[in-house]
Amino acid sequence: MIYRSTRNNNVEVTSAEAIAQGISVDGGLFIPDEIPAITLDEIKKLSTMKYNERAAYIFAKYLTDFTDEEIRYCTDNAYTDKKFSTENISEISHLFDGTYMLELWHGPTCAFKDMALQILPYLLTTSAKKINCDKKIVILVATSGDTGKAALEGFKDVPGTQIMVFYPEQGVSPMQKRQMTTQEGDNVAVCAIKGNFDDAQNGVKAIFTNDEIKKILDDNGMMFSSANSINWGRLAPQIIYYVSAYATLVADEEIALGDKINVVVPTGNFGNILAAYFAKKMGVPIAKLICASNSNKVLTDFINTGIYDRNRDFYTTISPSMDILISSNLERLLYLLTGKDDAKIREWFGKLSSEGKYEVSDDIKTLLKEDFYGGCCDDEQTKETIKKTYEKYSYTLDTHTAVAVKVYEDYKSATGDETRTIIASTASPYKFSASVLEAIDGKKPEIDEFAMVDRLYEISQYEIPDALASLKDKGIRFSESVESNQMKDFVLKTLGM
């Protein structure tokens, strides 16, 4: 299978090249030239396999330049109960009749990003080896909280890699800060930035494009790479859990093989829901893809009008991982919907960067609505949904998943569609204890993060994730804080140069 750039059909690379490079030189994203098929018989076969075996089976369709041994090395190291708190890797809970919560947060950092970031380091180092690149890979991450910790846990002690994470000193929650500053591993470093997330991100970009530093790394047998969601190596692992969830529902006799299901995804960068779209196009019987946004509802408007317009107020919400106005993976969807029209993609995304806005053609608007439904809700509605869901079903939602549940309820009342439905549950409520407690108790909790975790346990009776409980006793390893223009010095110092 070959991969092309969404902005230039003449670019042809293998999956190993796509993963090692991360992004195409023309600024486009790598995408497989055709979507491989999976039959109902194959899905049935998957239903008797463990998660790592299901993953290997599906990866084999996408990573055709990898050997079976290479794929098994990646899947077996990533998807084990040493890293995930459940043998099943992801779990399915029943919310109410015909509605299933696909819990993707049983990994080491309690957010769905673990599903991809646990395997990315193995995919990346294997890819580098395959293209005869024996350099040490240095990963730089700017984070507003979740991605940084998930990347640190993924790359921790992976041979041939080194990772550095930069976070805004005042811009992350106390729990997120503690998660990062206590990080274990011999190849990790964490540094606070005196500034906001944009300063951290700009600082990282400046280092990536600094020829002097690149040369120093090259002379020392190293190269930079990135762990964010434009890398195909982060998207492919997400397709697996949708196929896997369908297989599990069949195995549990919740649905019959071939029955259609809907999928609801709380969306920010459009990566998670795009993975569900790939699962559908492979042949998993998925009917509607329901795209749920918070007050930053640029995607809701896009699905409903065909106009993408980022010129709008930015809201800081209680579902911060969805506070995004540029959903970069939408580019891959539009490339597919236009029948690989790279010229159209260049035109629209050129407009997005120059004017902050583009409008797709009528045929694309029609296609969008065939597969997708878009909806949104604000913080008040999110909190109400957490409270209501807790009272009615004794199920404690995190703030992101609550957005998905609310939008799904709206969808059901608007359409009367009773199709069985999977809702992607993207974070453990313990990760956003303050907002979840405020929603359920009706007032802001005035206690520290660990007391909040205890209070949330009283309410939810969910096992407290070890990963969060054990933070209390871990020593702080990284307390350095630098101006954003000193990030480069931090990188060189950490690399011993």
Ligand X SMILES: *Cc1c(COP(=O)(O)O)cnc(C)c1O
> Which of residues 322 and 360 has its CB atom nearest to ligand X in the complex?
322
Shortest distance, position 390 Cβ to ligand X, whole Å: 18
**Strand locations in 362-487, DSSP E?**
372-376, 421-425, 481-483
**Strand locations in 6-160, DSSP E?**
8-13, 30-32, 91-96, 99-103, 136-142
375 part of the interface to ligand X, by CB under 6 A: no
Count CB atoms within 10 A of the CB of residue 131. 14
113 given a catalytic annotation: yes
**Options 83-91, 105-113, 173-181, 357-365: segment touching ligand X (CB under 6 A):** 105-113
Both tokens assigned to 205 = 């970009």
**Options 18-26, 121-129, 261-269, 341-349: segment touching ligand X (CB under 6 A):** 261-269
Both tokens assigned to 405 = 């549940």
Task: Kindly tell me which residue out of 163, 172, 325, 427 binds ligand X, with binding defined by CB under 6 A.
Answer: 427
> Which of residues 138 and 286 has its CB atom nearest to ligand X in the complex?
286
Task: Kindly tell me which residue out of 111, 175, 376, 402 binds ligand X, with binding defined by CB under 6 A.
Answer: 111
429 part of the interface to ligand X, by CB under 6 A: no
Q: How far is it, in rounded angstroms, from Cα 269 to Cα 238?
A: 13
> Which of residues 121 and 268 has its CB atom nearest to ligand X in the complex?
268
Residues 75, 83: contact at Cβ < 8 Å? no
What residues between 307 and 346 interact with ligand X by CB under 6 A?
321-322
**Options 6-14, 111-119, 195-203, 484-492: segment touching ligand X (CB under 6 A):** 111-119
Task: Kindly tell me which residue out of 154, 268, 374, 445 binds ligand X, with binding defined by CB under 6 A.
Answer: 268
Q: How far is it, in rounded angstroms, from Cα 402 to Cα 389?
A: 9
Dmax over CA atoms of the chain, in Å, equals 63
108 part of the interface to ligand X, by CB under 6 A: no
270 part of the interface to ligand X, by CB under 6 A: yes
Task: Kindly tell me which residue out of 7, 106, 113, 178 binds ligand X, with binding defined by CB under 6 A.
Answer: 113
231 part of the interface to ligand X, by CB under 6 A: no
Residues 376-415, one symbol each (x = binds ligand X by CB under 6 A, - = not), give: ------------------------x---------------
Residues 119, 237: contact at Cβ < 8 Å? yes
Q: Choosing from 44, 50, 83, 113, which is the catalytic residue? A: 113
**Options 260-268, 304-312, 461-469, 489-497: segment touching ligand X (CB under 6 A):** 260-268
The residue to which tokens 């806005």 are assigned? 357
Task: Kindly tell me which residue out of 28, 168, 171, 271 binds ligand X, with binding defined by CB under 6 A.
Answer: 271
Task: Kindly tell me which residue out of 126, 269, 396, 421 binds ligand X, with binding defined by CB under 6 A.
Answer: 269
Both tokens assigned to 303 = 């699905």
107 part of the interface to ligand X, by CB under 6 A: no
Percent helix, percent strand, percent coil in the chain, to nearest 5: 50, 15, 35
- How many angstroms from the chain centroid is the CA of residue 190? 21
The residue to which tokens 């293209």 are assigned? 131
Residues 9, 340: contact at Cβ < 8 Å? yes
Sheet of 136-142, strand order = 222-225, 136-142, 161-168, 188-194, 481-483
* Residues in CB range of 493: below 8 A, 6 or more apart: none
Q: Which helix (H) or strand (E) holds 395?
A: none
Residues in contact with ligand X, total (CB under 6 A)? Answer: 17
Count CB atoms within 10 A of the CB of residue 214. 15
> Which of residues 15 and 296 has its CB atom nearest to ligand X in the complex?
296
197 part of the interface to ligand X, by CB under 6 A: no
**Options 41-49, 109-117, 276-284, 347-355: segment touching ligand X (CB under 6 A):** 109-117
* Residues in CB range of 256: below 8 A, 6 or more apart: 250
146 part of the interface to ligand X, by CB under 6 A: yes
- The catalytic residue positions are 113
> Residue numbers of the site for ligand X (CB under 6 A)?
111-113, 146, 229, 266-272, 321-322, 400, 426-427
